[in-house]
Amino acid sequence: MNGEKIDMTEGMRKGIYILPNLFTTGSLFAGFYGIVATMSGNFDTAALWILISSIFDGLDGKVARLTGTTSKFGVEYDSLADLVAFGVAPGILMYSWALKPFGRLGWLAAFLFVVCGALRLARFNVQVNTVESKRFVGLPIPAAASMVSATVLLFHHFGWPGSYKKLAILVLIYLLAFLMVSNFRYYSFKDPGLIKRQPFAFLVLAVLLLIVIAAEPVVMLFVLFLSYIFSGPVGYIMTYPRRRRLEKALHKDEKKAESQNGA
């Protein structure tokens, strides 16, 4: 622990990288403004700013990796910004938009989302150098916050009754909270192969996807985020038979090794 503090102090003396931390600051600003908009009763505006925050958050890490400016300071600053922008901001949004009529139970439910997001960030920080970079363990907190924002925008877009949103948000909170602290694997979009040459069909599919999103942006964003959220549990179910076969084979090898050692 003391060694980490010394390394951080030495890094601070050398200075910090400006460009990636500017994107992190942009993410923090957007999340904070989302809180301000929520307090003013502009819930759709708050949802938009949380989505904007997720864009900045997606760029800061990529900029740092592409420019070779990753640092421990940047990792810690990014986590603190994420907790505000994707934990506190959507938590307050959910409470003010749909959960206030529930009183204490309402803000406790919103707090559950925040604390599970904090736990997800803490786990990510300790696993950042030990877990496969192509996969996240547990639903990333920016995706959870984006799902909240997409839900708010969907209700605003269709003008659905307020009674529906209370039940929808309660279900959503518990689902997202569970997925953030689960062991389901989610694609991280950090695969270096994504920036390499791809078949021409990939470009056609990307263009078609953009056209569909442009035609119905609110609906398609909701569908995309919902698909990503369920990709973890679905992937777990689909790969379960293969994992069971591997576990049985490993168990058989261990028993064989034990019997040979005993002999």
pLDDT digits (tens, 9 = 90+) for 18-38: 788 899 999 999 999 999 999
For 30-75, write each residue's pLDDT tens digit: 999 999 999 999 999 999 999 999 999 988 878 877 777 777 888 8
pLDDT at res. 140: 94
pLDDT of res. 197: 67
Q: Where are the domains of the chain?
A: 2-195
What is the DSSP code string of 115-159? HHHHHHHHHHHHHTTTS-TTEEES--HHHHHHHHHHHHHHHHHHT
200-249 per-position pLDDT tens digit: 787 788 888 888 888 889 999 999 999 999 999 998 898 888 877 777 66
Evaluate if residue 104 carries a pLDDT over 80: yes
Confidence at residue 194, expressed as pLDDT on a 0 to 100 scale: 58
Can you tell me the mean pLDDT for 84-89?
A: 96
pLDDT for res 134: 77
Residue 184, Cα to own-chain centre: how many angstroms?
13
Query: Which architecture characterizes domain 2-195 according to CATH?
Result: Up-down Bundle (1.20)
Q: pLDDT tier at 195 (50, 70, 90 boundaries)?
A: low
Q: Write the CA distances from 35 to 44, 89, 172, 180, 249, integer angstroms.
A: 12, 5, 19, 22, 52
Please tell me whether the overall predicted TM-score, pTM, comes out greater than 0.85 for this model.
no
Residue with tokens 């994504």: 194
Dump pLDDT digits (tens) for 125-173: 887 665 556 788 999 999 999 999 999 999 998 887 777 778 888 889 9
Q: List the structure tokens of 65.
A: 């990796």
